[in-house]
Amino acid sequence: MPPLVEVRNLRFRYDDGTPALNGVDFRLEAGESVALLGANGSGKTTFVLHLNGLLTGQGSVEVCGLPVDKPNLAAIRNKVGLVFQDSESQLFMPTVLEDVAFGLLNRGMNAHEASERAKAALDTVGMAAAAARAPYHLSAGEKKRVAIAGVLTMEPEILVLDEPTTFLDPPGQRALAELLCHLPQAKILVTHDIPFAHAMCTRAVFFENGIIAAAGPVEEIVTRFGWEFALERRKLSR
Amino acid sequence: MHHVVLERWSRGRSIIHRRDPRAKLATLLVFLVVLATAHHNLVWLSLALLAFLSAAVIAAGLPLAGVLARAGIVLPFSAVFAAVSWLAGDPGRAVALLLKSYLSALAVLVAVSTTPLPALIRGLEMTGAPRFLLMVAQFLYRYLFVISEEAQHMTKAAASRGATARSLAGSRSRFRAAAGALAVLFARSYGRAEDIHRAMLARGFEGSFRTLGALDFRGSDACFAALASLLLILTRVAIERAG
């Protein structure tokens, strides 16, 4: 079975000349959940923006067997659901329901069907009651759930979540973890939240200076790079 | 979380709220034309129009005093031009400027306070208003509060380090620092706009907005627009003839 994502020797430099990715190789298999770890500025977010063509670098990026290029962008954006770090930027429509239906309407679906599918997605994330509300009236956790509903309606094969636990309080983090555990899609989690990565992911890759410096089980990777204190702190607090 | 008064008002269920936005927009247009082109007995006409708008506010279940006060936001601007007219020896024009600007603002406020923004935008779109301008209005309304919150955070950060309005005004270098903060706010807003654009592209946006559902213009909406417009026109004719 071909991998869901296959990236070979991906390189990217921002317009101001700053190198962000210096030859990344990565594979994601069906059903996998992978954590992308690494310090700020190591290239994690830049990397995931390549997965649905929001950035284009040198090298090869394939999603579900399709090269990420202009002719395939629409198909690829249906397959890769990207949840941004700051939900405030992702929820731009006047009501929650309209925001969740945004991607479906762009796909050409009629308004009635889009509305029904959006309601079903809101129900999945436990936000059905908020359909008519304005996004800025929601709490950070609720916004994150609605943002996830917005990508779930597209029925993606891969969910990419950039810093999903940022702005969430502990109950919000727990609710998010429970929600994600029940979603069948393969997942890529960009995160600094080591306990969350440990709970959610089967393996981790560690970004350093725009390359993947190591890959393996989460605990092994965090120990190797001296990040195990995040896990130990959690054990101490117990 | 911000307390958005207009947003709350617009979600009512009164007979005025239930009217199709296009019916309200058509009536608003007639109102503005009737008011803008009036020259005789303007004070009496203004009082009659104020009575109609007040009746609409009461029928919509909105707080009359609150609506009347909020419409006054235009007065500082129009008062400048009114003062110039007064000083130029034309007090009639000065009074007309104040009356017309206040009543126009009040009429727009009544329309906006009784129509949720998505429906209002859709109504404007269906009446042929430029889609690009409507998109800008929609984003402005959505993110105005986010930007204002960022500005408040920056103000608090400055205040926590001893900055006050008086200290900023008192020194050129501090004033320069405040101007720099404004530039930072602009840069943050620009960054926010880029993030939003990426989020739109990630969900298949290709340049045109599609929205859920169509508006339903019923016979009652046509009756409302026709009767309200007729009432406005007849009122003006009657007051001008009486004068």
> Which structural domains are found in chain A, ordered by start?
5-87+157-237 (3.40.50.300)
Give residue A214's pLDDT.
94
Q: Residue B70 is encoded by which pair of tokens?
A: 């909020």
Give residue A191's pLDDT.
92
- Number of other residues whose CB lies within 10 A of the CB of residue B214: 9
Which ipTM score applies to this complex? 0.81
What are B's interface residues with A at a Cβ cutoff of 8 A?
1-2, 4, 7, 116-118, 121, 138-139, 141-143, 145-146, 192, 195-196, 198-206, 210-214
CB within 8 Å: B203 and A115: no
Give residue A93's pLDDT.
84
Residue of B nearest to A75 (CA): B204
CB within 8 Å: A136 and B214: no
CB within 8 Å: A98 and B212: yes
Torsion of CA B97, B98, B101, B105, to 10 degrees: 180
The 8 Å CB, 24+ separation contacts for A121-126 are: A121/A149, A121/A150, A121/A152, A121/A153, A122/A96, A122/A97, A122/A146, A122/A149, A124/A149, A124/A152, A125/A149, A125/A152, A125/A179, A126/A175, A126/A179
User: What single-letter amino acid sits at A193?
Assistant: D
Give residue B167's pLDDT.
64
Q: A110 in helix, strand or coil?
A: coil
B112-161: per-residue pLDDT in tens? 999 988 788 888 888 888 888 888 887 887 777 778 777 887 878 877 87
Is residue A205 within 8 Å of A36, Cβ to Cβ? yes
- CA distance linking residue A44 with residue B70, whole number of Å: 48
Give residue A179's pLDDT.
86
- Percent pLDDT > 90 in chain B is 48
- CA distance linking residue A75 with residue A71, whole number of Å: 9
Please tell me the distance in Å from A151's CA to the nearest CA on chain B: 7
Q: Is B174 exposed, middle or buried (0-12, 13-18, 19+ CB in 10 A)?
A: middle
CB within 8 Å: B142 and A82: no
CB within 8 Å: B213 and A115: yes
Q: Is A230 exposed, middle or buried (0-12, 13-18, 19+ CB in 10 A)?
A: middle
Q: What is the pLDDT along chain A (238 residues), one digit of tens a residue?
A: 789 999 999 999 998 888 999 999 999 999 899 999 999 999 999 999 999 899 999 999 999 999 999 899 989 998 999 999 888 888 888 789 989 999 999 888 988 999 999 999 999 888 999 998 888 788 888 998 999 999 989 989 999 999 988 878 888 888 888 888 888 899 999 999 898 898 899 899 999 999 999 999 998 998 888 887 766 655 544 4
Q: How far apart are the first and last CA of chain A?
A: 42
Cα B235 to the center of its chain, rounded Å: 25
Phi and psi at A123, nearest 5°, equal -65, -40
Torsion of CA A55, A59, A64, A69, to 10 degrees: 50
B27-60: per-residue pLDDT in tens? 999 999 999 999 888 999 999 999 999 999 999 9
* Sheet with A203-208: strands ordered across: A80-83, A158-162, A186-190, A33-38, A203-208, A211-216
CB within 8 Å: A111 and B213: yes
Is residue A128 within 8 Å of A59, Cβ to Cβ? no
Give residue B166's pLDDT.
65
Task: Please state the length of chain B.
Answer: 243
Angle of the B21-36 helix axis to the B117-126 helix axis, nearest 10 = 70
A187: closest CA among A226, A223, A151, A212? A151
Please tell me the distance in Å from B104's CA to the nearest CA on chain A: 26
Domain ranges of chain B: 5-126+216-242, 131-202
Residue of A nearest to B137 (CA): A94
Is residue A135 within 8 Å of A146, Cβ to Cβ? yes
- CA distance linking residue A190 with residue A63, whole number of Å: 18
Residue of B nearest to A73 (CA): B204
B191-207: per-residue pLDDT in tens? 888 888 888 888 888 87
CB within 8 Å: B7 and A114: no
Q: Residue B208 pLDDT > 80, yes or no?
A: no
Nearest by CB to B145, which of A49, A107, A136?
A136
What ranges in B63-171 are assigned the alpha helix state H? 64-71, 75-87, 91-113, 117-126, 131-160, 165-170
Give residue B99's pLDDT.
95
CB within 8 Å: B199 and A84: yes
